[in-house]
């Protein structure tokens, strides 16, 4: 079965090949390792504690599959587990019955692999798969207003800023504003 959802070869600066595919259970530790590293960076996510328990990691995977949610991963085919997943983009369902056409996007790329284009491809693939497999029509997300790289990426892919929640998060005595964004998938596909 063909796994790579990105039709062009993606090669890192160091020459390694990256494959874009749906997450598998065997990736759970790697995905959470990436998440925990971003929690440790303490400037991008409104989360204080890392996820360490195998139970929590596997419950996440079970729930993702049960709810048919999308998680696309970027795999470095030359690296062993749990270092093989360089980043992940999840599109979760929104908790309202009447919003089943809307997906909520979250993304992480591991620190040493940022700014090589992985994030842009993860989002592109996740958006297309969420329309194809889950009939999503619209993607929403939120981001700290200080996260210039993420905001640049979202804006350049067509996400529109629809509002700001001022001082929504408080981390180590510093307030962060939350930027809310959305994108209509058909508009995105038409333009890309």
Residues forming contacts to ligand COA in the complex (CB under 6 A) are: 38, 44, 107-109, 114-120, 143, 147-150, 152-153, 156
Residue 151 CB, shortest distance to ligand COA, in Å, is 7
Residue with smaller CB distance to ligand COA, 135 or 148: 148
- C-beta neighbour count of 90 within 10 angstroms: 23
Closest distance to ligand COA from the beta carbon of 158 (Å): 13
Q: What are φ and ψ of residue 65, in 5° steps?
A: -70, -40
Dihedral (C-alpha) 9, 184, 64, 164: value to the nearest 10 degrees? 110
- Counting every residue written for the chain, the total comes to 192
Q: Which is nearer to ligand COA, 58 or 111 (CB)?
A: 111
Tokens of 94: 């929104």
Q: Which residue is at the shortest CB distance from ligand COA?
A: 119
Closest distance to ligand COA from the beta carbon of 81 (Å): 20
Where are the alpha helices (H) located in 82-192, listed in sequence order?
118-134, 148-156, 185-191
- Our CB check for ligand COA shows the closer of 58 and 149 to be 149
**Nearest distance from residue 189's CB to ligand COA, in Å?**
18
Comparing CB distances to ligand COA, the nearer of 22 and 114 is: 114
Q: How would you classify the pairing of strands 102-109 and 138-144?
A: parallel
């Amino acid at each position: 079965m063909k796994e790579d959802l990105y039709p062009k070869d993606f090669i890192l600066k160091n020459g390694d090949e990256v494959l874009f595919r749906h997450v598998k259970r065997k990736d759970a530790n790697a995905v959470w390792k990436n998440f925990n590293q971003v929690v440790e960076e303490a400037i991008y996510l409104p989360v204080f504690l890392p996820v360490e328990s195998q139970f929590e990691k596997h419950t996440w995977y079970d729930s993702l599959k049960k709810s048919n949610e999308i998680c696309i991963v970027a795999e470095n085919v030359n690296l062993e587990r749990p270092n093989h997943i360089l980043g992940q983009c999840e599109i979760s369902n929104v908790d309202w019955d009447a919003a089943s056409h809307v997906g909520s996007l979250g993304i992480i790329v591991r620190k040493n692999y940022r700014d090589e284009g992985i994030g842009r491809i993860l989002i592109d693939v996740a958006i297309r798969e969420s329309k194809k497999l889950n009939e999503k029509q619209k993607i929403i997300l939120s981001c700290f207003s200080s996260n210039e790289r993420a905001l640049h990426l979202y804006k350049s892919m067509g996400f529109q800023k629809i509002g700001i929640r001022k001082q929504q998060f408080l981390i180590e005595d510093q307030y962060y504003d939350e930027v809310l964004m959305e994108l209509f998938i058909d508009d995105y596909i038409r333009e890309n």
